[in-house]
Each structure stands twice: as C-alpha cells, then as structure tokens.
C-alpha cells in the first residue's frame, strides 16, 4: 500500500512538473528566473541560519582585510624609530619604544629586550634569539587563531545545509499515507524536496565562500609572518652590532 501510494505521488508530481515546464517554455521560451530571495524563503527556517552564517563570514573577511596588513602588524614608523635607536646602541630608548608599541612587532622586540640581564652593557644576539622566537610564535599563533573562525564556518555551514536536506525529506514523506487528497500530497512532496535542495545549495555556498577566504588569508599570514620575522631579526642584529 505504501509503495503504491508513493508511486502514484511520484508519477503525479513528475507529470505536473513536466506539464508546467512545457507550458512555461512555450509561453516564455525559457525557464523562469530563480532569485536569491526565492531560495531563502523557500528553504525554510534553516536558510535563515545559513544567511546569518554568511553575514558573519562576510564581516570576518572585511575585518581581516583591514587588520591583516603589513602596516598594522609591523608599523613602518615604529621600525624606523627603532632602527635609529638600535644603530645608536640605545637599549633603553628601544625598550621604551617597544613597550609603547601595541603591534606584534613591538611585542616581539619588547619580549626580546626584557630577556636581557639588568645593567648589561653588552648585547649578544643569542641572548635575544630565544625570547624573540617564543614571542614571535605566540603572535603568529594569535593570527592563525583569528582566521580559524572562517574554517569553522566552512565546516559547519554544509552540515547545517545537510540538516535542512534531511528535514526537507522528512517533510516530504511524512503523512503521504494520511487521509488527504493526492494534490495535497503532491504539494507536500514538492515543498519538502525543494526545501531540501535549497538548504543544501545554501550550505555549500556559505561553506565554499568561507573555506576559499580562509585559504586566501592563510597565504597572507604566511607572507606577513615572514616579513615580521625578518624585520624584527634585522632590528635586533643591528642592536647587537652597535652594542659590541
């Protein structure tokens, strides 16, 4: 009985879709346009969760574009002033500059200088190297932790879309054997299947956007890390050469 009912529903649905498609093709010569708003509204409540995730992803992308830059992580003004102090061998002046600089470059230089023994007039690169590497690793880890949110969205969004797919299929096949007309069964089946497809589509779009953005920022962080390390290392080498 269940198989018979399901066969009737699917046959009726296929016939309806084919007849509607033929009428629209003959009237307009092409298929009707499907707008993004149609996808959102027909996808059910789960689509609004995906829209919220896409909004968060876009905000994160804008934030990273504004903050993950050379001038922010390694300010040219600080590097210029610090280089002048390093060339003079002014450890105290350089320490004051680094302590007042909130950027990762300032924190790395400050951590390296804090590792020096109090009252030491001679500065060895080996004394600074360990502290510089430790703080540099910590600052880089913070940068990676920032963009990890995009990877999280890229992982969660397709799963939410899959949840919507399962929910849509449950809606489609629930009540097919109930005492309702065949037309209502067909409408229920069509609605559930379309919801399932729309949520799958939405989840994949958001996930692809987030993962693609993560890949872009991953490359940017690698380049920024290399620049940050080279600038701080050159600065400390200049200081050790001037203090010999």
**Predicted confidence (pLDDT) per residue in 128-150, tens digit:** 888 888 888 999 999 999 999 99
At 34, give phi and psi (nearest 5°).
Answer: -115, 110
Give the domain extent around 23. Answer: 1-31
Tell whether 63 and 146 lie within a shared domain: yes
Tell me, yes or no, whether 224 lies in a domain.
Answer: yes
Instruction: Determine which of 7-16, 73-82, 191-200 has the lowest per-residue pLDDT on average.
Output: 7-16
- pLDDT band (50, 70, 90) for residue 170: confident
Tell me, yes or no, whether 62 lies in a domain.
Answer: yes
Average pLDDT value for the chain = 77
- Taking the whole predicted model, whether its pTM rises above 0.95 is answered as no
Distance from the Cα of residue 175 to its chain's centroid: 40
Q: What is the pLDDT of residue 72?
A: 92
74 vs 121 pLDDT, higher one: 74
Tell me, yes or no, whether 169 lies in a domain.
Answer: yes
Tell whether 160 and 213 lie within a shared domain: yes
Sign of the dihedral defined by the CA atoms of residues 51, 199, 16, 189, in that order = negative
166 CB-near residues (< 8 Å, 6+ apart): 196
Q: What is the pLDDT of residue 184?
A: 57
Q: Is 141 exposed, middle or buried (0-12, 13-18, 19+ CB in 10 A)?
A: exposed
**Predicted confidence (pLDDT) per residue in 12-60, tens digit:** 434 443 344 444 444 444 445 656 565 566 656 788 888 899 999 999 9
Tell me, yes or no, whether 107 lies in a domain.
Answer: no
| Packed helices 45-67 and 182-242: angle between N→C axes, nearest 10 degrees | 20
The total number of structural domains in the chain stands at 2
Q: Give mean pLDDT, residues 97-110.
A: 91
Q: How many CA within 13 A on the CB side of residue 43?
A: 26
Tell whether 165 and 201 lie within a shared domain: yes
**Alpha-carbon torsion, ordered 149, 153, 159, 165, to 10 deg:** 160
Tell whether 174 and 211 lie within a shared domain: yes
Tokens of 97: 């500059």
Tell me, yes or no, whether 160 lies in a domain.
Answer: yes
**Predicted confidence (pLDDT) per residue in 171-195, tens digit:** 666 655 555 555 555 665 566 666 7
62 CB-near residues (< 8 Å, 6+ apart): none
């Amino acid at each position: 009985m269940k198989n018979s009912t399901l066969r009737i529903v699917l046959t009726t649905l296929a016939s309806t879709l084919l007849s509607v498609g033929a009428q629209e093709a003959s009237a307009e010569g092409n298929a009707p346009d499907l707008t993004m708003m149609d996808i959102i509204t027909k996808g059910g409540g789960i689509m609004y969760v995906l829209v919220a995730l896409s909004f968060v992803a876009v905000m994160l992308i804008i934030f990273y574009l504004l903050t993950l830059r050379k001038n922010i992580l390694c300010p040219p003004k600080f590097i210029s002033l610090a280089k002048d102090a390093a060339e003079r061998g002014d450890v105290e002046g350089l320490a004051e500059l680094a302590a007042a600089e909130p950027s990762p470059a300032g924190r790395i230089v400050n951590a390296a200088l804090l590792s020096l023994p109090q009252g030491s007039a001679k500065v060895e690169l080996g004394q600074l190297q360990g502290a510089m590497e430790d703080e540099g690793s910590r600052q880089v880890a913070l940068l990676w932790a920032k963009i990890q949110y995009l990877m999280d969205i890229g992982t969660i969004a397709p799963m939410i879309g899959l949840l919507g797919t399962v929910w849509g299929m449950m809606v489609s096949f629930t009540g097919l054997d109930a005492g309702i007309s065949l037309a209502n069964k067909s409408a229920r089946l069509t609605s559930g299947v379309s919801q399932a497809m729309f949520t799958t589509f939405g989840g994949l779009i958001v996930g692809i956007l987030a993962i693609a953005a993560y890949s872009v920022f991953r490359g940017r962080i690698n380049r920024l890390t290399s620049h940050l390390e080279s600038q701080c290392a050159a600065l400390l080498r200049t200081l050790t050469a001037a203090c010999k």
